[in-house]
Amino acid sequence: MKSLEEYLVLAAQNHGHMCPGQVLGVRMAMLGLRQLGIDDPAKYQKRLMTFVEIDRCATDAVSLVTGCRLGKRSLKYVEYGKVAATFLDLETRRAVRVVARDDSRLKAKAMFNEAGHEPSKSESYRQQLEAYKVMDDSDLFTVEKVRVRLKPEDLPGSPHSRVVCEQCSEGINDRRERTLGGRTLCRSCAGESYYEVAAGDP
């Protein structure tokens, strides 16, 4: 595994800037991998899966450290809105969930606020960034051993199934279809769409 400093340089390049979320994500991933006994994530690409619970800066950093990617089906996004990630060794089925502590911001603020005055927004941001680099893991995160329920169609590799929606004729992979009124439908046609078709040419 690379050092924290090396990962932070790569994270800033990958994400476009350095921020407290990037530091949290890098440290979260490093801690999760250590808990699983993984010292070189590159050697575990075929057996490592990560579940991230938020679509913010930390997720880019988690992906960078673990090497898990959406396109490889080794990175899964579950929309919980939490700065948390679960790291799963597919071979041993061991998994740990690492969660950023909600009180870590206050601890970070206290670390560098020796003068006792209320810092400006930019000072507070910088203090948080620097504190997250040096705070103890136990002050930043909680770790719990977990079990992850996986279906065969959730695993990396080629699609396990493919069907065609009987309404829109679009293909659906990996048993994501719905059966409604005896018809096989995609989630959009089954009423779960996140978009609506607009009038006119694209």
Residue 52 has pLDDT above 90, yes or no: yes
- Number of CB atoms found within 10 A of residue 58's CB: 28
Tens of pLDDT along 128-137?
899 999 999 9
Give Cα 21 to chain centroid, integer Å: 12
Count, in order, helices (H) and strands (E) of the chain.
6, 9
Delineate the domains of the chain, giving CATH numbers in brackets: 4-154 (3.30.1330.130), 158-202 (no CATH)
- Mean pLDDT within 135-155: 95
Q: Is the pTM of this model over 0.85?
A: yes
170 confidence band (pLDDT: 50, 70, 90): very high
Tens of pLDDT along 62-93? 999 999 999 999 999 999 999 999 999 999 99
Q: pLDDT averaged over the chain?
A: 92
Cα distance between the two ends of the chain = 46
